Chains A and B, each alone.
Chain A
Amino acid sequence: MRRLYTLVCTFILITTGTLTAQDLLQGRVSGNFQLDAQLYQADSAIGAEDVSEAMLMNSFANINYTQGNFIAGLRFESYLNPIKGYDQRYKGTGVPFWYASWQKESFGITVGHFYEQFGSGMTLRSYEERNLGYDNAIKGARFIFRPYKGIAIKGLIGTQRFFWESGPGIVRGLDGEFAINDLLNILSTDLPRFTLGGSFVSKYEPSAKILVNSDQILILPENVAAISTRLNIHHKGFAIDGEYAHKYNDPSAINNFIYKEGRSLLLQASYSQKGFGMLLSGKVTDNMSFKSKRTERGSMLDINYLPALTRQHAYTLAAMYPYATQPNGEIALQGQVNYKISKGTLLGGKYGTDIAINFSNVTSINRDSINNETPIGKTGTLGYKTNYFDFGDELYFRDFNIEIQHKFNNEFKALVSWINMHYNIDIIEGHPGEEAVKANIFIADVTYKFSSKNALKAEVQHLATKQDEGNWMQAMAEFTFSPRWFFTLMNQYNYGNDDKDRRFHYPTVAVGYTQDSNRLSLSYGKQREGIICVGGVCRNVPASNGLSITLSSNF
């Protein structure tokens, strides 16, 4: 800590030392601020607990100072106490993020905290999403070096954020990306464009004794490496992206302390031209959880990122059963087609009609035991054997959805959508033995403009399922008086719950005011957890009952 601090100060002094006082005065300060407060009312029926503080608050502010090529900044965070749904270990106030950085065309250095991603993130991604309480910022040092047009080399070393502390592991990474066409000075756009890349990431964590039983102690690797290689090809409307990652043996709480190596392959191909687009993608994941602490089970201290190859739904009921990648093993396939029926045709009308179809399917991988005596996945062994593209029998997730959007005239536009989903609640949410949720979701969303700046938006959503909590219905009306005001009325109704006493309504009223980039919104009512979009902004909110206030500003 002290050494890093000295390093940062020296760095600031050296870089600012080369500037005159006049230069310093010409720097710019910018930042943002957000405060979320919630006043709670207990509602034992829907499961909203009594909160002894009565009010909880999360807030943060970023302040950045920029002077030419020099940038420094920090983030203040305060959770007094953390809003329900956030990890209670965030409780407190402090400055968990600060950095100084010097960026030139050919090189850049950052000391302090930073975020980074190598390729698609399969070996390394440091990322934050404040509204979800997710932050695995790396604290240490990073360089980026561009010695020649088309070459970018990145290197980094550091520890990862763990609430108000750092995790026990040290992460080291090196990444190179080579734009072949730039290197060979091929300027023609008639030729395909190739980009090659590769990463090496290694974590160090001091050895520890993990007792399997009274007579077996695991010997754990202190250094674990992961390597990956990637290729991107772009040619006119075509794009192909591929990345393969391999991780050496990494026994952890997530994989039940097996010594098997991990691997992941991602392939995506797309073609598009004006009015038409399509995408096909596939991904195999096998034992690829990579954390800088072996015993961590939660969402903290991730070194890599394993994106789910499924559509991220924006409508509330469609987002009720969201899929998350199973890091221990899955095979995912996805396809999407976007098409615009041209303006001036029978079906296109005056403005055209947008159609989007998306399909995704995720299954388990097939696992065989390593020998006759060892059960699959046994702690302290090589775990299991598996082949590539060997689809397992178990369906984790399937989603077929179609969305049609049409603008009838200047006043009236509509969107309809149908989603058919299969959600393996046993695997995804860890509810052993529970039957998979098979749901049909229908959405209708219409907007009527009663003057150029005032509009009414009405939304009806219906989710039909025989499993979990049964059928849901949601209706919403939103009045907007642009660019300042919005008012929203919404109700969710779990009318199909098998348990007649649990057929709850979740009504909410909301009002918001926006002036430029300052925004205040208030909402009162009951909320389920999920992505909520009101008054023009989307974010993820936890379950609650009561009054919530959000204040957001940017300067």
Chain B
Amino acid sequence: MKNVITLLLLIFSISILSAQESDKNLRQLPQVTVKNLSGHNINTAELSNDGKPMIISFWALWCKPCINELTTIADVYDEWTEETGVKLVAVSIDDARSTAKVAPTVNGKGWEYEVLLDANGDFKRAMNVNMIPHTFLLNGQGEIVWQHTSFSEGSELELIEMVRKLNSGLPIE
């Protein structure tokens, strides 16, 4: 136990030192390996949208609000991408029980997102996601500028508003 406490102190002191600096030092995507729907391994640190904003949304087949959110955005996704150039990456945290269902469901619903499979929750943990849906907004430099948990009708308007702010260089609250 004593050892653990020493270790804790060590990590905490590093944390505190760095916390002071972190204001202008925004977090970027961690390096985790996930799969895409065509079976390729993807390093999450390399996800990008060519200098344009990117949305990363964690979801699962068993999560109704998540499906609701992605269905709602799917209806306006063409307009969003045309207007702002934004890209949505939908990260499914379904485990081995349902990973094979993700592609048929996504295509069956006609979603045009880039879909990733995080079957053992490695990416989810690295992003500190507790509950889903959990949505992150990244700026063109790949820095996480905003995040939001849960979905209710109309939340998508706040999200696209943030994207517009990013594009016009306004600060994100």
Interface residues of A (CB under 8 A from B): 1-2, 5, 8-9, 12, 16, 24-32, 34, 62-67, 69, 71-74, 94-95, 98, 103, 105, 115-117, 120-121, 125, 127-128, 130, 152, 179, 193, 195, 232, 234, 237, 239, 241, 268, 270-279, 281, 305, 307-309, 312-315, 336-340, 351-352, 354, 356, 405, 407, 447, 449, 451-455, 457, 480-483, 486, 512, 514, 516-519, 531, 533, 535-539, 552, 554-555
Contacts and interface: CB of A to CB of B under 8 A. Distances in A.
B150 to A, nearest CB: 3
A31 B133 CA distance: 17
Interface centre among B63, B126, B131, B150 (most CB of A within 10 A): B150
B131 A115 contact: no
Given A351-B75, A514-B149, A519-B131, A73 B104 contact: no
A351 to B, nearest CB: 6
A116 B11 CA distance: 23
Contacts of A516: 146-149
Contacts of A536: 65, 133, 150-152, 155
Given A338-B108, A517-B134, A552-B149, 14 more contacts: A5-B4, A27-B18, A63-B11, A74-B7, A94-B4, A274-B110, A276-B107, A278-B104, A307-B98, A336-B104, A447-B153, A483-B148, A518-B149, A554-B129
A481 B109 CA distance: 27
Interface of B: 1, 3-4, 7-8, 10-12, 14-15, 17-22, 25, 27, 30-31, 33, 37-41, 43, 61-65, 71, 75, 95-101, 103-110, 119-122, 125-126, 128-134, 146-155, 157-158
Contacts of A309: 97
B6 to A, nearest CB: 8
Contacts of A276: 107-108
Contacts of B152: 455, 480-483, 486, 535-536
Given A12-B10, A455-B152, A25 B17 contact: yes
A62 B155 CA distance: 27
B65 A483 contact: no
A67 B130 contact: no
Contacts of B100: 239, 241, 268, 270, 279, 281
A449 B108 CA distance: 25
Contact of B128 (A64, A117, A312): A64
A352 B14 contact: no
Contacts of A193: 38-40
A535 B149 CA distance: 11
28 contacts: A26-B18, A26-B25, A27-B14, A27-B18, A29-B15, A63-B11, A63-B15, A105-B43, A152-B41, A270-B101, A272-B103, A272-B108, A277-B107, A307-B95, A312-B98, A336-B105, A351-B75, A356-B105, A451-B154, A453-B154, A482-B152, A483-B154, A514-B149, A517-B134, A536-B133, A538-B63, A552-B131, A554-B134
A407 B134 CA distance: 24
Contact of A62 (B1, B19, B128): B128
Q: Dominant SS at the B interface?
A: mixed
B67 to A, nearest CB: 8
Given A340-B110, A454-B154, A482-B154, A125 B120 contact: yes
B8 A95 contact: yes
